[in-house]
Chains A and B, each alone.
Chain A
Amino acid sequence: MPDIREKAQHIVVLMMENRSFDHMLGGLKAAIPAVDGLTGTETNPDTKGAPVQVTPTADYQSDLQDDPGHHYPDVDIQLFDGTPGGTPGMQGFVHAYFNKTGDVKKSHNIMKYFAPDQLPVLTTLAQRYVLFNRWFSSIPGPTLCNRAFAHFGTSFGNTGMSVNYVGRKSVYQRMVEAGHTSKLYYYNQASSTLGLTFLLMDQPALFGTFAQFANDCKSGNLPQYSFLEPNYKDGDDLANDQHPDNDVRAGDDFIGTVYNMLRSSPAWPNTVFLIVYDEHGGIYDHVPPPALDPAHPDGNTDKETGFKFDRLGVRVPAILVSPWVPRGTIVDGRVFEHASIPATVTNLFIDPNYKDRTAREQAADTFLDLLSLDTMRDDAFHFAVGNSASPHVPASSRIEVIPVPQAGPARPDRPMSDLLKEHVQHMHEAEITLPPSQQTGIDITKLKTVRDAGDYIGKVTAILHPQATAGGGAR
């Protein structure tokens, strides 16, 4: 069986904007019960006290012309609806949107979600590759602090739009210093890069445009780690980041374009493609963000909001694409966040014991163990413009019912991979920082199989993230 370093020679992350899991993928639950989506009965009260039910009536634009609030105070209302403390009730989304619109009818739009047929690319990839049931934004806040977690494994104590990124190396800098290749591809000069513009002139080699990404896909010369930014603004091309109220369909087509480019690239057999959203954008999701262990984060407290970084942000869509993942995998019972991205990249390419990173990143779960197939999948498909002559499947008949959603490795008795050994070691290092009374007492040198590793990681995670694991199981 190929080593993980053969399967994952290239990691490509595409981070979209401001849509929640339920809004984009919650409709899949009707066909695939293992998806932790919507039953259709979820509600939030409006300002008149009437329950507003979720409906699959979201449209590609115009529903959310008033940008839903997604800064910390807005998200606080969405989660706690004015009664902070305890587990978030997720009952304040309509109230928070009313605060933006001042219009009761418009405030109901925040409960709309997309029928799966409306997003043919995203839902097809979710069904044919890996869908994460529990990927959360890193902070209950806006774009830049969440994206900072994907770049640095921290937001430097900010819960807002500050770009004061001083004191930690980005994952790109780490890669280059370790002799690896890494690039952040922003869409074009008009769109630019969010939050990292300041690095462009000092380290231009770290950056490219989407046109260059297309060329690199074509030649197969992708960097080992690539981060891709969509088009954030209407310019020569339509904005395709899916931020409200940008055209969601244009974003779905953009994801399909990136997939097509990767799928046709010579690098495809060794490429891992993660599609993830930076934050929920103020849009309804039914899963309460888990709290983190207070001792675990980095000791940061945001000066403006008082947030102690002890809770994750709202759940977002995340899909992992690789020819080495079992078709129709649904990852449940494990919690991921944006710090999982630099954690995975650093562990794989640099050193799982790399020290110069935050405790938050060190504790973040990684996802390459999901590339569990022994042989590469040979199924092939791509996305095309409809009404063409080539044989294809109309979106309306495309929803697949996956009989056995898989949660985790397919063969638990096989020996641990190198990556999993590193993960165990990594968890052990986190465990021994705990008081002896809280440690598991497990001798990790005796762990041999994937099941052993899974059990151990689960126990340590339960100690480190008690609420996360309590709230992270299947519903």
Chain B
Amino acid sequence: MIARIAVLIACIGLPALAVDSEWTRLSDSCGDFKVIPCATTLFTDHPFHIAVGSLAPGNGFAAGPALSFTHHTKPHHIPGPDGDTVTHWRLNIDTDAVLSSNLSWRAGLYMKARYTKEPPTVVVDSPPPTTGLDLRPKSWLFNTYVQAESLNTLTYYGIGQDTSRSAVAFYRMRQTIVGGNALIPLWSPLNLSLFGEANGRFVSLRPDNGETGPSIEHIYNSVTAPGLGDEKGYAQFGQGVRLAPAFGNHFSLNYAVTYQEFISGSQSSFQRLVFDLNHQFDLYGRAKGKVAPDFNGPNSCAQTEADKNAACPKPALSRNLEGSISFRFLMNQSFVNSGNVVPFYFQPTLGGANINGESLLPSYADYRFRGPTMILYRASFEHSIGKLPIGFLFMADEGKVALTPGDVGFNHLAHSFSTGLTVHAGGFPVLSVLFSWGGHEGTHTLAQVSNSLLGGGGRPSLY
């Protein structure tokens, strides 16, 4: 209750801190019933705006105040024989608190920090090497966050691919995550980086009070729902590599391989290996990135300093045709020592959208399949409709969950086909409506608003 009150106070109180210039922009935009300019200012203006987005499936759309700003430190000059070596930080800070119609909420503070060390530049009186000498500095990126999220409607069908839809149970969860990660560039031509993370996770489960269906503890126990009734705090560490080269304007890769350790009590620790391999063919070439820059926080605009005065990106008529074909391979394997279990609330899910709002096997119900190991193959095609900021999407998924890494493969895959519309702003999909079919459990319609409406990223995964 205290947390809810805090969120409500934040919802009401933070906008009162808005600076005069924002009030001026708001009054300019919202006077004379100008709907679109008014909405644009309300939802995208900086440093304050209203954050909107979907919480985890089943918990509705949420809205609340958001504050986003940057700070650049004064450079530190270190004298040397060839001139100063300069170091500096560039910080991007976001905070928001949102509340949905079923009183689920999320509040978080996110800070991204870019550290750069620049040695002096000198003049050499000889021809340069034939490759040309690249002087561009490289930066280390650090991401820290404190986030609490309370979700009032989550569903559970048991573990594995053979569970029954009728075995659904409901639970509530609150998770607080404190931690950070770092991205260290290694080699520019392939956009190769090292990734590391460390955080603390604190989960508490609560029964659903019969409002939506049977509560989880009435159907399942700690054997059929590992971790139920024994929620622990976890220290989580991760290491990985990221590879994201672009080959011309038509083909790009985005590979991430991460190894994670979840450390808790003696029977709850486990490890996880994640392969997320994305391949994208752009039909017409591409000018705008479809993935938010790493430095953008969840409420930061994906804009440039150069067009800062043009405010944040918004849906706009385009003279471009856009289209892409993508292939994704996602594998999530968990490993435990003998006698240990992976808590169900940290197991990946397939079906509808997962707890992070990512659509996986969308023809099935949300969270339909859950297991310590998961595999997904996806092919998708997206194309703009005319030159509007609206896109048509077709997507085919094949996937399964399994109890052990040895059980995944190409056999007995569940499949899902989806078609729908996406609305882009600033090059990023901000709204999607999908109709999905396939498999044996009917159809499913998903409507989602990106939880980083302005094209940024940086919220930690909830599993």
Contact = CB atoms under 8 A, between A and B. Distances in A.
A433 interface: no
A249 B119 CA distance: 10
A247 B89 CA distance: 10
A120 B295 CA distance: 28
B135 A257 contact: yes
A281 to B, nearest CB: 10
Interface stretch (A169-177, A302-310, A388-396, A401-409): A388-396
Interface stretch (A236-244, A287-295, A415-423): A236-244
Interface in B104-125: 114, 116, 118-125
B303 interface: yes
A161 B316 CA distance: 14
A217 B70 CA distance: 36
A311 interface: no
Given A194-B306, A395-B82, A387 B120 contact: yes
Interface stretch (A26-34, A131-139, A207-215): A207-215
A182 interface: no
Contacts of A179: none
Contacts of A235: 289, 293-295
A61 B128 contact: no
Interface-central residue, A233, A250, A254, by most chain B CB under 10 Å? A233
Contacts of B305: 17, 67, 232-233, 239, 241, 243-246
Contacts of B135: 121, 253-254, 256-257, 260, 383-385
Given A71-B309, A194-B306, A382-B127, A234 B118 contact: no
A245 B70 CA distance: 10
Contacts of A198: 318-320
Nearest to A238: B139
A142 interface: yes
Contacts of B120: 120, 385-387, 394-395
Given A161-B310, A243-B305, A253-B136, A384 B83 contact: no
A67 B73 CA distance: 15
Given A197-B288, A198-B319, A236 B191 contact: yes
A192 B426 CA distance: 11
Interface-central residue, B81, B86, B122, B244, by most chain A CB under 10 Å? B122
B119 A387 contact: yes
B461 interface: no
A416 to B, nearest CB: 34
A107 B71 CA distance: 17
A200 B90 CA distance: 31
Given A236-B293, A387-B82, A395-B123, A62 B74 contact: yes
Interface stretch (B54-62, B264-272, B279-287, B407-415): B279-287
A124 B125 CA distance: 12
Interface stretch (A1-9, A261-269, A312-320, A340-348): A261-269
B121 A120 contact: yes
B287 A193 contact: yes
A78 to B, nearest CB: 16
A444 B124 CA distance: 47
B433 interface: no
A428 B85 CA distance: 54
A190 interface: yes
Contacts of B318: 198
Given A189-B286, A218-B131, A392 B82 contact: yes
B137 A253 contact: yes
Contacts of A398: 123
B101 interface: no
Contacts of B114: 234, 238
B123 A381 contact: yes
A147 to B, nearest CB: 9
Contacts of B287: 186, 189, 192-193, 197, 200-201, 207
A143 B285 contact: no
Contacts of B122: 120, 383-386, 388, 392-395
B185 A236 contact: yes
A19 B118 CA distance: 21
Pairs A-B, 9 closest by C-beta atoms: A386-B82, A382-B128, A386-B120, A232-B304, A261-B132, A198-B319, A235-B293, A253-B135, A204-B285
Given A234-B295, A235-B295, A384-B124, 4 more contacts: A199-B319, A232-B304, A249-B137, A394-B120
Interface of A: 17-18, 59-62, 65, 67, 71, 117, 120-121, 124, 142-144, 161, 186, 188-194, 197-202, 204, 207-209, 211-212, 214, 217-218, 232-241, 243-247, 249-250, 252-254, 256-257, 260-265, 379-388, 390-396, 398
23 contacts: A61-B74, A62-B74, A65-B70, A161-B310, A190-B293, A194-B307, A214-B132, A234-B295, A235-B294, A238-B139, A243-B306, A250-B116, A256-B121, A265-B132, A381-B123, A382-B128, A385-B119, A385-B121, A385-B122, A386-B80, A393-B122, A395-B123, A396-B82
